[in-house]
Structure 1
């Protein structure tokens, strides 16, 4: 696979994505990958009100089993992509042990999470499906394993430091629910779609093209503006303060999609000017005090 130069490896273009799904999917169909998503699709026109409830998110144990659709179980997807040095510093500040060798100046996938407008019910407890599960055998023989290894891993030294355990955790906690979407459908397609969305963003190139390069500092409003100029929707950016230097390090980007993975505005995404005027650094490496 071809490297992007920014921590990701290229999947085939959308026209050939079906081959990735067909070789590994045991539940869904390669047709789940034919519908355009993200930047390849029109922006979402979905109304930002919830129809999902515990009563609507119920599968029927008939033959065949009737699976409740995504819109009955959650409202939207949130995609989180981490800038490894900034995110690692944030985790270190929170007392976590860091895998220093994995902290390179690159973007890594944190997750694609089904979410609710009312975060207190995020998502429905019944959203996790009982008819599908994470099947390592399909991943081991699929064409995405190398891509996952290079783009979706943890920088934490404990917990899910093993990639296989991390992916299984992500699918059980988020992907099983996400697979209710008609453009996902199963376990492997959940990871394929997430990679596809992130590759569309081309974050390193997009930011560098907007004059925000590794090691540089600029206003939060300008960083948001660069990404929103490409995506045409509101996004959210997270950052972390270094108390000794007074610098703020960019740690994560969050982008929102509807249940069919069409781009949508961040709910409550408008920030006050005093926050937008914050200087944010795209730190190039893990601060020295975090290293052993």
Structure 2
């Protein structure tokens, strides 16, 4: 009898331990919403080169378009989860059929790194956690969904609709950018800047989706504060989720890639020919 009781007690202890472990693991990887992060390649490139002047950038062929940084499952008021299945490695073959649009829209700006470095990182760190949802439960689905969101919610179009376009002369207010997004999408985004050389550079805009993949406010995501910013002499816009300085104008720079030497030579030849022709 004593042996039977001891065995039963031991069984219950093991069962309770396994249950507690499974609950703790589930809680560790729990998340509330998806952050869809778009980045402005010109600022990303500038920052990459600032780390090391020898760094090279791989910019998209369309200099006017934003690119995807990632789709990140996130628990409110914290960061993560991440690396939910470390045995589920990135397989380039799984996204071979969409590699062309990924290269253009989910571009690895850091040109000195391996071809699949960004996609591999995004999948292993974030995609394996997003795979909890059936529409995102494979590499192909995860990256395809990111591409679909990019085509539907590209910041290039959203900002341009409010006459906010890349410029090396014009600067914009935080409120300008915030209202451009909220007017179009009717949800609160998170706006990220980088401070470079004492100036504020627009680098990322994040929009959020719930677990049914519908747009929702980004309120509650970590790394940003709710700030107030002047809109005009009489109005203050409050609760802008950002790390930008609301009192400082923001740079949204145009493509600054130098003109290729071949082009310069051809222009010189054309000017010389025109000069000769008009003599």
Given the two structures, how large is their TM-score scaled by the length of structure 2? 0.68
**Is the radius of gyration larger for structure 1 or structure 2?**
2
The equivalent of 1:115 in structure 2 is: 74
**Partner residue, 2:210:** 258
Q: In the alignment, is residue 279 of structure 1 matched against residue 233 of structure 2?
A: no
- CA–CA separation in structure 1 for the residues paired with 2:29 and 2:94: 28
Q: CA deviation at 1:242?
A: 3.4
In 2: Cα distance, 1:97 partner to 1:252 partner: 24
Query: CA contact under 8 A between 2:58 and 2:110: conserved in structure 1?
Result: no
2:46 corresponds to: 89
Unmatched tracts of structure 2, length 5 or more: 1-19, 231-244, 259-279
Residues 188-203 of structure 1 mapped to structure 2, 5 A cutoff: 188-203=140-155
Higher fraction of helix: 2
Runs of 4+ in structure 1 over 6 Å off: none
Instruction: Report 1:80-229 matches (<5 A).
Output: 80-95=37-52, 98-102=55-59, 104-119=63-78, 122-123=80-81, 127-128=84-85, 130=87, 132-140=88-96, 142=97, 144-158=98-112, 161-215=113-167, 216-229=170-183
- The alpha-carbon deviation at position 137 of structure 1 amounts to 2.5
- 2:193: which partner in 1? 239
Larger RCO: 1 or 2 (CA < 8 Å, sep 6+): 1
Please give the secondary structure, in 2, of the residue aligned with 1:254. strand
Aligned length: 217
d(CA) in 1 for partners of 2:145 and 2:254?
A: 28
Q: 2:161 & 2:152 partners in 1: Cα distance? A: 15
Offset at residue 265 of structure 1 (A): 0.9
Distance 1:166 1:198 in 2: 17
In structure 2, the CA distance between the partners of 1:101 and 1:278, relative to structure 1 (3 Å rule), is same
Which stretches in structure 1 are left out of the alignment for 5+ residues? 1-52, 59-67
Cα root mean square deviation, aligned = 2.9
Query: Given the alignment, which residue of 172, 177, 201 partners 1:249?
Result: 201
